[in-house]
Amino acid sequence: MPSTQDAQLLKGVLSLLLLRLVAERESYGYELVQRLRGIGLSGITDGTVYPALARLEREGRVATRLAESRSGPARKYYRPTGDGYRALTEGADGWLRLAGVVTPVLSPPVPDEPAPPAEEG
C-alpha cells in the first residue's frame, strides 16, 4: 500500500493518468484499475479510481458507452471527449513542467548535514 503522502500525490495526478489511459484505449472501470496496477501503481484501490472516473464524467472530460460482456453485466467503457483531450494536454504539460523543476532538486543524494548559511560560507 502506498503511504498517505503517496496517496495524496496520486490523487492529484490520477485524473490525468485515467485520461491518458482511456486516450490510448477505451476501457471500463475495473480494466483501468488493472492497467494502473500494471504501470506500477500496485497499491491503488478500486475505490479510489471509480469516483475519479465519475468526476471526469461529470466534468464532461470522458464519454461513456455500455457494451455487453461475456462474463457479467454490461460494462461502461470510457473514452476522452474534446474537453478531455484538452485537459490531458494541458495537464500533462503542467505536470512535466513541474516535474522538470522538482526532479533536479529531489534527485541528488540528501547530504548528511545542511551546509552553513551562505554568508558564513
Partner 1 sequence: MNRAHDMRLPLDDRLRIERTLWTLDSHLDDLPFRIKRARRREMRATLYAAAADVGTAEAVRRLGDLTTLAADYLAAEYGDRGPRPSYTMGAVWLITVHVVAGLVTEAGTAAFTAGVLAAEPRATGDFRWSGVPWFIDEATITLRGGEETAAVGGAWAPLVYLISVAALVVGGRLWRLLPWWRRRHAAAPHG
Among 3, 5, 58, 114, binds partner 1 (CB under 8 A): 58
**Based on CB atoms, which residue is closest to partner 1, 48 or 81?**
48
Within 8 A by CB and 6+ apart from 49, the residues are 14, 18, 29, 32, 33, 36
Answer yes or no whether residue 119 interacts with partner 1 by CB under 8 A: no
51 binds partner 1 (CB under 8 A): yes
Here's the x/- map for partner 1, 4-23, by CB under 8 A: it reads as: -------x------------
User: Would you give the binding string for partner 1 spanning residues 79-118, x where CB under 8 A is met?
Assistant: ----------------------------------------
Task: Cell numbers for 110, please give them.
Answer: 540528501
* Least distance CB 82 / partner 1 (angstroms): 21
Report how far residue 52's alpha carbon sits from residue 54's, in angstroms, rounded to the nearest whole number: 5
How many Å apart are CA 42 and CA 21, to the nearest integer? 16
Name the residue among 24, 72, 76, 70 with its Cα closest to residue 50. Answer: 76
